[in-house]
Structure 1
Amino acid sequence: MFTFLLTTLAVAGRALAAPVAERADGVQFIGTNIAGFDFGCSIQGACNLTQATPPLSSLGGPDGAGQMQHFVKDDGMNMFRLPVGWQYLINNKLGGTLDSGNLGRYDQLVQACLATGAYCIVDIHNYARWNGQIIGQGGPTNDQFVNLWTQIATKYASQSKMVFGVMNEPHDVPDINKWADTVQAVVTAIRGAGAKNQMILLPGNDWTSAAAMPTKSGPALLKVKNPDGSTDGLIFDVHKYLDSDNSGTHTECVTDNISGAFQPLATWLRTNKRQALNSETGGGNTASCQKYLCAQIQFLNQNTDVFLGYTGWSAGAFNPQTYELSEVPAKNGNSWTDTSLVKACIKKQ
């Protein structure tokens, strides 16, 4: 996520071979990010593991498990994105095996998510990089990245509600066709590891911008296929913030992104018979963000043949008193109170 670093429905497998019909109650998935295991990771893909903050009270952090239980029970959410640093999972040993201790801690969050009945996105939060070097283009090899995903997919292959988010917000990647080859290698590996039907989120360049996808990354990523040649379960991963510079660093919002991003993207998706998920969006707990985010979400709800849903940024381990885009609910005894933005726009109405 750009901001921080400047400091059951059958949706898997064959069900996604063609666009689904629009549902009266909107998109199939709504939810939020449960951040913390990604803390300390910069936009250059360098991660300071000492800054990772597990959003789990059992590990001394905030009660992310309780947050998810509340979001499902009280708000009707059914999807959570769980960011984590690549370095964290393998304890800084590029090409190595998943670190049992760190993986065990991250898996506690995954299991807490799955226990709610929601879909759970594993999000590698490294911006297509390892310590400043781009995957498959002068940095880590595709094989090293594939090794990571093969291990993750093997661990969660039996979990039908796991979703594999290949990479958070690639940016300034020189060759989009080579990046598409990297994504293809990961898709092939995930399917080969036994995760045959789970959704895989395909990330483009330009910070995974919804506006840029149709003309910049999308044409290259269209060639990414499952081993059987289908595109079942391969979903375009897009992000879009609503502030003045699209960074997600301001508490005020200035656009609903419809004409500039989501309408053109919807047209492109329909033309290519594909679907997308907005896995990061959000704003401050302000009147302007309520206005524009609610309008953006309404557009997604009106175009459910091509948009599967959205997860807001962010709950989890953020400090709600200091973080501009906090979606962290406040706990009082056994009850939770949502932020004004979640209550107005993200909570299932």
Structure 2
Amino acid sequence: MFSALTAALALAVAVYALPAARDTGAVQFVGTNIAGFDFGCSIQGACNLTQAYPPLSALGGPDGAGQMQHFSKDDGMNMFRLPVGWQFLVPSPGSPLDSANFAKYDQLVQACLATDAYCIIDIHNYARWNNQIIGQGGPTNDQFANVWSQLATKYAAQQKIVFGIMNEPHDVPDIDKWADTVQAAVTAIRAVAAKQMILLPGNDWTSAQQMPTKSGPALLKVKNPDGSFDGLIIDVHKYLDSDNSGTHTECVTDNISTAFQPLATWLRANKRQALNTETGGGNTASCAKYLCSQIAFLNANSDVFLGYVGWSAGAFSAATYELSEVPTKNGNTWTDSSLVKACIARKSS
């Protein structure tokens, strides 16, 4: 995001192949973001590492591991997205992983895997390193591919790891050059991890509305080294507030006619699938109305939409953050936010 489910649990997607078309009326993946390792990262890709707030009680933060256990066990969630700043992982583009920082982030990844959910590794840098766009004046494609090669090597044996190449690229001048950057990351990942899903991000904040006409045609050319498109999923985001920023507590649209219906048509025409890795709103009646409607549409079109991941739980404050999906804990009992209860949870907790 800027700055920063009402059916039985479906069968998991087969690895190294696009999931088969489904008529079950339910998407395969439902979950939430577990934010914190991305805190301090601006929309210009500059990260103040002193502001990172690991959502792990073992590291002095909130109990993100407990949140994921609750979401999985009580709400039927089976996917979590784990944002992290690129600078948190490496001290400079192309350098080896920072062993101490990676070990901290890996604690969150392992806590996610322990729930048996799918876990999205998300580099949350907006296509940039310190205000310089990757492959277009900033770090080279090879330097970007290097961090993905290292991460893929770490998680190559974990079939439920999903590689989220980049959070919300925006104002990228040349979409074809950006597709080359995405291709470099895919090629690097596939050299060591042949089977996991990879999420392909477009320009325009990964907008679901803009994807069919702006970024999508360029991203369709990104392929696996063997020439296939297996496991390459279009990454989209879509908020429901007045300016599509995900910063307001009230919602005004379900995005169906303007975004998800046109995107579904485009995906079918090109035999591709998408995953909405950020959506959400305030814990208000308007957001419950419109988000539940948006989710119902995705469920009804589960042949092309794999799922949706809410924004956000993790290290946010449930009391102050506008789009909080952070559950509160009293003793051994977790209580969900009203929006999670109304729209996102697959089953009542």
TM-score (structure 2 length as normaliser): 0.97
- SS of 1:147's equivalent in the other structure is helix
In structure 2, the partner of 1:142 is 141
In structure 1, the partner of 2:336 is 338
- Residue among 265, 281, 284 paired with 1:283: 281
In structure 1, the partner of 2:39 is 39
Give, in whole Å, the separation in 2 of the partners of 1:22 and 1:149. Answer: 34
Range that drifts further, 204-213 or 93-102: 93-102
- Residue among 235, 248, 272 paired with 1:237: 235
In structure 1, the partner of 2:326 is 328
Cα pair 1:242 1:253 within 8 Å, conserved: yes
1:23, CA displacement in angstroms? 1.6
In structure 2, the partner of 1:84 is 84
Give, in whole Å, the separation in 2 of the partners of 1:95 and 1:101. Answer: 17
In structure 2, the partner of 1:20 is 21
Cα pair 2:282 2:323 within 8 Å, conserved: yes
Give, in whole Å, the separation in 1 of the partners of 2:216 and 2:203. Answer: 9
Cα pair 2:18 2:232 within 8 Å, conserved: no
Moved over 2 A (4+): none
Q: For residues 268-288 of structure 1, what are the alpha-carbon distances to aligned partners after superposition, in whole Å with 9 as ceiling and x for unaligned?
A: 000000000000000000000
How large is the RMSD of aligned CA atoms in angstroms? 0.8
Give, in whole Å, the separation in 1 of the partners of 2:282 and 2:47. Answer: 26
How do 1:200-349 residues align onto structure 2 when only pairs under 5 Å count?
Answer: 200-349=198-347
Cα pair 2:13 2:28 within 8 Å, conserved: no
1:107, CA displacement in angstroms? 0.1
Q: For residues 19-74 of structure 1, what are the alpha-carbon distances to aligned partners after superposition, in whole Å with 9 as ceiling and x for unaligned?
A: 422224x1000000000000000000000000000000000000000000000000
Gaps of 5+ in 1: none
Give, in whole Å, the separation in 2 of the partners of 1:190 and 1:144. Answer: 13
Q: For residues 222-251 of structure 1, what are the alpha-carbon distances to aligned partners after superposition, in whole Å with 9 as ceiling and x for unaligned?
A: 000001111000000000000000000100
In structure 2, the partner of 1:151 is 150
Give, in whole Å, the separation in 2 of the partners of 1:15 and 1:53. Answer: 35
Give, in whole Å, the separation in 2 of the partners of 1:98 and 1:243. Answer: 37
1:15, CA displacement in angstroms? 4.4
Q: For residues 186-241 of structure 1, what are the alpha-carbon distances to aligned partners after superposition, in whole Å with 9 as ceiling and x for unaligned?
A: 10110002x11100000000000000000000000000000111100000000000
Gaps of 5+ in 2: 5-10
1:12, CA displacement in angstroms? 2.4
Cα pair 1:11 1:233 within 8 Å, conserved: no
> Percent same amino acid at aligned positions?
79
Cα pair 1:40 1:52 within 8 Å, conserved: yes
1:95, CA displacement in angstroms? 1.5
Q: Does 1:9 align with 2:12?
A: yes
Give, in whole Å, the separation in 2 of the partners of 1:55 and 1:94. Answer: 25
Letter in 2 for 1:216: K
Give, in whole Å, the separation in 2 of the partners of 1:334 and 1:324. Answer: 25
Give, in whole Å, the separation in 1 of the partners of 2:296 and 2:337. Answer: 19
1:94, CA displacement in angstroms? 2.2
How do 1:183-202 residues align onto structure 2 when only pairs under 5 Å count?
Answer: 183-193=182-192, 195-202=193-200
Give the aligned length.
Answer: 341
Q: Does 1:53 align with 2:53?
A: yes
- SS of 2:17's equivalent in the other structure is helix
Letter in 2 for 1:143: D
- SS of 1:313's equivalent in the other structure is strand
- SS of 1:13's equivalent in the other structure is coil
Letter in 2 for 1:339: S
Cα pair 1:160 1:197 within 8 Å, conserved: yes
